[in-house]
Structure 1
Amino acid sequence: MNITIMQFFEWNLPSDGGHWNFLKEHSKSLSDVGINTIWLPPAYKGAGGSNDTGYGVYDLYDLGEFDQKGSKRTKYGTKDEYINAIAEAHKNNIQILADIVLNQKGGADKTEWVKVAKVNPDDRNNKISDEYDIKAWTKFNFSGRNNKYSDFKWNWKHFNGVDWDENKKESAIYQFTGLGKSWDEGVDDENGNYDYLMLTDIDVSSPVVYDELLKWALWYIEIADFDGFRLDAVKHIDFEFFKRFINDIRKIAKKELFTVGEYWSTDLDVLKQYIENTDHTFNIFDIPLHYNFVSAANEKENYDLRELMSNTLISCYPENSVTFVDNHDTQPGQSLESWVDNSFKLQAYTFILTRQEGIPCIFFGDYYGMPTKDIAPLKDQLDKLLKARKESAYGDQHDYFDDAHIVGWTRENGLAALISNANDGGSKKMFVGEKLSGKVFVDVTGNISGEIEIDADGNGDFTVNENSYSVWCIK
């Protein structure tokens, strides 16, 4: 069975608490078209309460149960609705990936005086002040939860940096210096050391912090019964931490726990090094492939489709690659905006959904649309591609990357795909296997009418329209 992931949120979902129920209502229809894994947004209380998308983590133990940060529920609903939605997904043979945000916390309850040094934002290894004291938001008491599930209270000793001094009302990057603290090693070397990203930076080198996060993760799995993780911002966290963390959880929980990490870099060597440093413990997203899609969309007929796989993770570590076209960070208006527009969107989805390499992840905002950005849903078109993946995208693959503007590939179970970025359509003679000789193929996308019969040698002349895509399966 092909694994097919859906990222089940976009950044601008309404803050009405209805999202977990939306998943519950749609699990069966998603399963029917071939979605068998769903990545859910962070489910715990953020600093923004019921308006927080989930990445401004306040209390990891509050899944929408306690009156904290102005509401009981999260943006997406209550704890009970979350657990019920996961149970319904499981009934429909869908596995759930929980979004794990362990780089930072936000919305602290109190300040503490902390010894720090300012660092250069462009080179965080370069201190630009002597050590002095600031008033930092680092004390997390979670009084609304009243010690239920955990009595652990976070304080400055569990962090290694902030970006705000409440005393002077001043913004900078402050590295904690007490207790011999420094930035974590094993992180991306952008800005010298990219441990610090935002808010209050968690010190994952602390044994106390490690034990608490492991305890929390095991509690979370037991409570919510999810099946794997999406790891946020792994480039900002020592690679040794997640390698150990995921292995420990798998061992103790006795679950396989499919895991994918977000390491945002276009440098293939950096991504390869991360996979090797973490001993292939989990997958990561193929960021370079996303940017190839962006280039194809932006450059239109000037882009050479033969280069789609160049410098991508799927070209070297396909077994550790999760492919995607867009996500909540690349959508219009977001921090890493790099939107693949409709001139190449469905060609890109044809690529990730019908090929052998990588595990594809489709984006909620593409599937259901994004009304706040006037982006229409592509559900009808994507359902046809998903069905082709579910039923036909198996078997040996044969590539026909022999033209700058029309490329194709086949799978010997009975699928042939073509994508085009030129103003002229065309055809390719492609091999689907001698065992399919005499079989009749049709374009399941509906873009091209008519039938193609496979000849005695296992070949067919498959066609595609201009600036389009076609996916041919056995009639």
Structure 2
Amino acid sequence: MRTIKFMGLVLVFLSLFNCEKEDLQDTENLTQENQTTETIQKRAGLKPIGEGVMMQAFYWDVPAGGNWWNTINSKVADWSNAGIDAIWLPPVSKAQNGPFSMGYDPFDYFDFGEYDQMGSIETRFGSRTELTRMINSAHQNGLSVIADIVINHNSGGASEANPYTGGNTWTDFNPLSGNFYRSATDFHPNNIHSNDTGVFGGFPDLCHHQTYVQDWLWKNSNCVAKYYRDVIGFDGWRFDYVKGFEPWVVKDWKNEVGGFSVGEYWDSNVSTLDWWTGAAEVSAFDFACYYKMRDAFMGNNLSVLNDNMLWKQNASKAVTFVTNHDTDEITNNKILAYAYILTHEGYPTVFYRDYEEWLNKERLNNLIWIHNNLASGSTTILHADTDEYVAKRNGYNGPGLVVYINNSNSWQERWVETNWSNTVIKDYTGHSGWEPTTQSGKWVKIQAPPKSYSVWSVK
């Protein structure tokens, strides 16, 4: 009888314990669900990425010490007011070099500055709390947030015997987050094939043909892509070093989780860039445009701007830029290059240091306003020679514009054919005080100051 009573008490205790455990699990699941719902609700009303201007919100070797997310947080309101519609962040997860890493040597995709590994708890940029606070602040200010995704290679694994090489490799990954453990089979060479399209810096090269890798990166409910989107709050993706794997990887990721996507396919060949955007079904940085601008402004020959670029071939897939964290070769009259990309087709990117430190912020803000309010419709190049470049945007639900870039040392004037007949126009940069009236045949004389530009539209 006592045994029966004792067993009954045990069963009651176990039942209560299991109920409490289930309640705790339900609470944790509800908390995560509420967090996901709250994050998505905060993103309601954001404009589609690409309607404004992207800010690359970092540069190589930003100050270490874990304060970068706070720095960005202090600027998102001003950026939004200036016309920025999205910010591109550096890789946010813990990497091999811990507090010193820029994130391009990823170790634990689920450690955002909360686990004591790789020599630190925080990343170079800060803690998980600071990251999510900054992202929420960006959303509240109408800015989308783009994650830098490094999935070609990993770094920081321990040494293990590798049956595919016959020796030891640094492919044993045991992250403290407890998510996405990796071993030799998940890298090249393995049981599927010896390599894919490219390796980077001798790092272990992930094999995207492995189902396990696909599941953890973009397919499972708790994968990297869905966790970054639903829990951390990212709205889009910048894919690093996409030459290292086939374009179907990016396509599958994008089809699974959505969001704006752009790949770093570092190649100046327009046909190659156009092929990749078609195969991946996403945008690409317009390196063809970048190198033509370098040749034009560094070589003092604006006629080069007549050459082909991705934005001319497929404007909806072109992300244009003047500088990024890897390359900064356009140093002569860099503002002229910004006048070019911010008046032409494509989705333009402004580099953090150009905006915050190196160039005239007032002039950049003016060009961003011009891009968002006047630069619509197809593009017609009206004139290009060594020193002068004139083009017009033909307008779409708006008047369009004429941009005049002058790389000479003196004022220049030129008759051009505009979109407007018998219409008063003005220079929206304020560089010229002229307010001419176009002729009935749409022709008008405009001017541009030395080593500068003007942008004309209906008054």
Give the TM interval when normalised to the shorter protein: 0.7 to 0.9
Deviation at 1:21, TM superposition (A): 1.6
Q: Distance in 1 between matches of 2:379 and 2:229?
A: 37
Counterpart position of 2:382: 400
1:284 matched residue in structure 2: 284
Q: 1:182 Cα deviation (Å)?
A: 1.2
Residue aligning to 1:363? 351
Q: Within the alignment, does 1:262 sit opposite 2:264 as a pair?
A: yes
Report the AA paired with residue 386 of structure 1: I
How far apart, in 1, do the equivalents of 2:443 and 2:458 lie?
A: 13
> Residue 446 of structure 2 aligns with which residue?
462
1:340 maps to which residue? Answer: 330
Tell me what 2:338 maps to.
349
- Residue 397 of structure 1 and its aligned partner are, at CA, apart by 4.0
Deviation string for 1:337-380 (max 9, x for gaps)? Answer: xx100x2311111111012x2111111121123xxxxxx34323
Root-mean-square deviation (CA, aligned residues, Å) is: 2.1
Decide whether aligned partners of structure 1 residues 400 and 265 sit closer, same or farther in structure 2, where only a CA change above 3 A counts.
Answer: same
Q: CA deviation at 1:394?
A: 2.5
Flag the structure with higher helix content.
2
TM-score by length of 2: 0.82
8 Å Cα contact 1:286/1:323 also seen in 2: yes
Indicate if the aligned counterparts of 2:153 and 2:205 stay in contact, CA closer than 8 A: yes
Correspondences of 1:109-124 after superposition (within 5 Å): 110-115=158-163
Equivalents in 2 of 1:40, 1:433: separation in Å? 39
Q: C-alpha displacement at 1:443, in angstroms?
A: 4.3
1:381 alignment partner, one of 363, 370, 373:
363
Q: CA 1:224–1:309 in structure 2 vs 1: closer, same or farther (change >3 Å)? A: farther
Q: Which residue of 1 aligns with 2:414?
A: 428
Mapped pair 1:136 → 2:169:
yes
Identical counterparts, % of pairs: 30
1:405 and 1:422 in contact (8 A); partners too: yes
Does the CA-based 8 Å contact 1:4-1:361 persist in structure 2? yes
CA distance in 1, matches of 2:298, 2:403: 22
1:251-276 deviations in Å (ceiling 9; x for gaps):
xxxxxx01110001122232222223
For residue 473 of structure 1, report the CA deviation from its aligned partner: 4.4
- Paired residue secondary structure (2:81): helix
Alignment partner of 1:441 is 2:422: no
Query: Could you report, residue by residue, the CA deviation over 1:195-223 in whole angstroms, capped at 9, with x for unpaired residues?
Result: 45541111111111111111221112111
Structure 1 moving runs of 4+ over 6 Å: none
Distance (Å, rounded) in 2 between the aligned partners of 1:115 and 1:180: 13
Richer in strand (by share): 1
> Per-residue CA shift, 1:44-74, capped at 9, x if unaligned?
1111111111101111001112112122211
- Contact preservation (8 Å) 2:343, 2:370: yes
Give the residue type in structure 1 aligned to 2:371: R
Superposition deviation, residue 391 in structure 1? 2.3
Q: Deviations over 1:10-38 (max 9, x none)?
A: 00210122221222211111111110111
Once the two structures are TM-superposed, the CA of residue 462 in structure 1 deviates from its matched residue by 1.4
Contact 2:370 2:428 in 1 (8 A): no
- Partners of 1:443 and 1:219 in 2: CA distance: 44
Aligned counterpart in structure 1 of residue 326 of structure 2, from 324, 329, 338? 329
CA deviations 1:160-201 (Å, max 9, x no partner) are 1xxxxxxxxxxxxxxx3x5253112xx3xxxxxx24554111
5+ residue gaps, structure 2:
1-46
> Counterpart of 2:327 in structure 1: which amino acid?
T
The answer on 1:199 being equivalent to 2:203 is yes
Residue in structure 2 matching 1:53, options 87, 99, 102 = 102
Find the counterpart in structure 2 of residue 122 from structure 1: none
User: Secondary structure, in 3 states, of the residue corresponding to 1:138?
Assistant: strand
Q: Which residue of 1 aligns with 2:152?
A: 103
Contact 2:303 2:385 in 1 (8 A): yes
How many residue pairs are counted as aligned between the two chains?
Answer: 402
Distance across 1 between alignment mates of 2:308 and 2:416: 25
Offset at residue 115 of structure 1 (A): 4.2
Q: Rg: which structure is higher?
A: 2
Partner of 1:94: 143
Distance in 2, Cα, partners of 1:87 & 1:43: 15
* Corresponding letter in the other structure for 1:323: T
- TM-score where L is the length of structure 1: 0.80
Counterpart CA distance in 1 for 2:379 and 2:248 is 36
By how many angstroms is 1:396 displaced? 5.2
The DSSP-based 3-state class of the residue aligned with 1:427 is strand
